[in-house]
Amino acid sequence: MKFITILFVLSFIITGLLCKPFLAERFNQIAQSKESKPDEILQVIKSKIKPNQIIVDLGAGGGYFTLRFAKEVVPSGLVYAVDINQEYLNYIKEHAEKEQIKNIRYILANEDDSNLPDSIADLIFIRNVFHHIENPEKYFIKLKTKLKPSGLVIIIDYLPEHAPSIGIKKHGTEPQIIFNIMKKAGYHLVDEYKILPKQSFFIFQIE
């Protein structure tokens, strides 16, 4: 009987740890860690945009960067929080309301489509998401329609040797693979930054 009770308790704990709010909080803890260098990332982005422009946080997760972006583009700029999980979007919205941040729009995406309006984005920010995209070349070809003519795409992803593992899958991408796919999809490299110890950091623009 004790064994069954222990199993039940463990099952309850594991279920709680895997629930969306916990994961959203965990994503935010990682995003704001010193190793992730969020301030340095934000400085790069601030050098690329104007306060009245539109930033898309694609794969927004717990919304750490969504909320920071929203504070940077006030009073007339907007941020689109895009994710395939409605629970994450709800989590971000709850925290935005607590902080009285009103310039965020929320979009529930599909696996193969961001569902963004056409020609909306001055900058699309994609952090630790690239390796999840099933057909990245096709995805980024479609994503071009969501960018303004001079719009930028920032891709940050784990280097394979530092990527976290779930089962046998590594959650990272070789930088050369990112570069090759983006070139095939019709983008050119604008900048590459070496400021992150475990991640690549590219900025692309439409050819």
The reply to whether the predicted model has a pTM over 0.85 is: yes
Could you give the CA distance from residue 57 to residue 66 in angstroms, rounded to a whole number?
6
Place of tokens 């994609």: 126
At residue 2, the pLDDT reads 44
Name the more confident of 25 and 22: 25
Q: Are 91 and 139 in contact (CB under 8 A)?
A: no
End-to-end CA distance of the chain: 66
How far CA 20 is from CA of 16, 51, 79, 133, 180, in Å, comes to 9, 31, 22, 20, 33
Asked which of 7-16, 110-119, 169-178 is least confident by mean pLDDT, the reply is 7-16
The CATH number of whichever domain residue 201 belongs to comes to: 3.40.50.150
Q: How many structural domains comprise the chain? A: 1
Encoding tokens for residue 122?
Answer: 């001055």
Distances from the Cα of 133 to the Cα of 14, 110, 173, 187, 188, angstroms: 27, 11, 11, 17, 19
CB 66 within 8 A of CB 89: no
Q: Does residue 20 register a pLDDT over 70?
A: no
Distance CA 192, CA 154 (A): 10
User: pLDDT tens, 152-205?
Assistant: 999 999 999 988 766 546 689 999 999 999 999 999 999 999 999 999 999 999
> Residue 177 — φ and ψ, nearest 5°?
-65, -45
Domain that holds residue 74: 2-206
Does residue 3 have a pLDDT over 50? no
Give the type of residue at 53.
Answer: Q
- Measure the CA–CA gap between 10 and 111, rounded to whole angstroms: 32
pLDDT digits (tens, 9 = 90+) for 53-101: 999 999 999 999 999 999 999 889 999 999 999 999 999 999 999 999 9
